[in-house]
Structures are given as structure tokens and as C-alpha cells.
Amino acid sequence: MDINLFKLCSGLKFLGYLMILLVLAIVAVSYYAVVVLTWAPRLLRGGLSSFLAFLVLLLFHLLLLLLSWSYFMVVLRDPGSVPENWRPVRDEENFEGDASYLPHEASGSGSTWPSSNGSEGRPPSGFCIRCQNGKPPRCHHCSICQRCVLKMDHHCVWVVNCVGACNYKFFLLFLLYTFLETTMDTLVLLPSFINFFSEAKDHSNSPGKLAVIFVAFVLNLAFALSLLCFLVMHGSLVFSNTTSIEVYEKKKGVRWKYDLGRRKNFEQVFGTKKALWLFPLLSEEDLGKTPALHGLEFPTRSDVEA
């Protein structure tokens, strides 16, 4: 009995929908702990305490808005699909050292492939056997989504979507704002967390309130620490114009051919409009003059130096 492992992988999509509910639950717990239980009541105290509470709540809601906006842009935005019957302009640009698109039968020395003139030969580089379509540079086939994704970085179960050329910026902003939000939540809940043990011992507060503050503090601290690692990793990938998949393809000691310098590498993800860098938006001008944002073609060092 043959088992299609790729169809089994597609079952991970169901896990992704549970992750969305988990994200919403964490946001709800944090909101209740920070806003309802801790800082909103301080608005009524007057003086410096009310002013500080106002600033905390304002920053909390601003980061929450940017976080949610970025998150749903990643969830809803297509990461980049290969146009039907796409064919490379220059075939030699499409070989990335990724053999995942080749059938197992084609990997051997005696494998053949039907050509347009009826003869048989090697399968063309830049062709996905699973999608039966052309495969642009830096494109990879996602076994969970069951399709090729342009400049694929990874499949993220937290957003039930692949992260690719067309939504990578939104994913990075989601990481950034989630890190800032969880870090802020950890700091503003820290006094309440410190008082948790004395209040629990003296029974000076309801067990439910104490439990919510404790859980919210621990969750936000854990996410802040883990997201810091992800931000550092993806920051290095952005400035070297590399994806998580391509890290394993780069040859040690050889400069990556798509590395155009930190500024241009950054602009290939975030665009050239500085005013939009911190928002999950891309200007029409950037979409028109930056091919990398579409994911079908990418300038190389030789193109820039020529």
C-alpha cells in the first residue's frame, strides 16, 4: 500500500486553524490582564498614576492594532503563486541547487523526459513535477499547501499560510510588533506578578484575577524571549537577502549571488518608501519598480555590477 506523505503533510493545515484560535486566546488573556485588571482602573486615580496608565494603554492598543493588522495580512495575503504555464526567460537562472522539483525517476543518470519535438531528454531545470509548471528562481514547492511558492521562506502553522515573496514583509512586521507587545506586557505586568505571591498568601485578591495575571505574565515573557531569537535570525536573513531554505543552499566561503548590499537587500523586502517601512503596506511605485516584491525575478550581484 503506497502512502502519499505529501497529502499527510497537508493535514497540518488543520493544526494551523487551531493556532489562530490560540493566538486570539493569548491576545484575549493579555488584554484582560493588562487593560481590564491592571491599568484601566488606574485611570481613575488621578495625577501621575492616571497619566502613566493613559500612556501604557495608548501604547498597548497601538501595538495591538499594528500586530493584528500585520497578522491578518500574512494570513490573507497570497505569498506568491507561479503563473500558469510560466517559463523562464533565461533557463540558467533557475537552477538553485534544489532538486525537490525533480521526480525520483529523473534523478538517475538514465532518466528521460519527453521534449516538445517528441524526443526524450533530461527534465528542464526550473520545472516542478508536482505542479507540472515552470519554477522561477528561488521558488520552492510547499508540501503542505501542495503548490509552488515564490521565494518561499517557510510554511508557518501560526498563520496557516506560507511565507514568501508577497507577504514576507508582513510576517516580519508581525514578529516585530508581537515582540514589542509581549515585551511591554511583561514589563507592565511585572509589579503585579511580584505582588502575586504575597496577595495569594494573604488572600487579598480573587484567585481568578491572580491566575489571569500569572498566566499572562508567563506567556508574554516566553513569547518575548522566543520572538527575540526569531527577529535576530530573520534580520540576518533580510540583510543578506536569503531565505530560511536558502541558508542550506549557500556555499560556504562564496558570496551569495543575490546579496546586493544591506540597503538594497532590505528594500527588496520592505520597499523603497521609508514612510511605509513600519506598516504592512507596499506602494504601487515599489510594486512596479521592484521585481523582487513580485517574486518572479531577482537582480544578482553581476546584474548590479554590470
How far is 286 from 139, CA to CA, in rounded Å? 21
Catalytic residue status for 131: no
136 exposure class (CB count in 10 Å sphere: 0-12, 13-18, 19+) = buried
Strand runs labelled E in the chain: 113-114, 120-121, 127-128, 133-134, 140-142, 147-149, 154-156, 161-163
How far is 39 from 18, CA to CA, in rounded Å? 30
CB 227 within 8 A of CB 71: no
HSE-up (13 A, CA, CB side) for residue 228: 7
- Cβ neighbors of 200 (< 8 A, separation 6 or more) are 207, 210
Catalytic residue among 128, 139, 145, 156: 156
C-alpha cell at 62: 497601538
User: Which residue reads 495608548 in cell numbers?
Assistant: 58
Strand runs labelled E in 60-125: 113-114, 120-121
Sign of the Cα pseudo-torsion (276, 246, 237, 268, in order): negative
Distances from the Cα of 242 to the Cα of 82, 230, 238, 251, 259, angstroms = 20, 14, 6, 12, 8
Residue 252 backbone class (left: φ over 0; alpha: ψ -120 to 50; beta: rest):
beta
C-alpha cell at 40: 484601566
Q: Which residues participate in catalysis according to the annotation?
A: 156
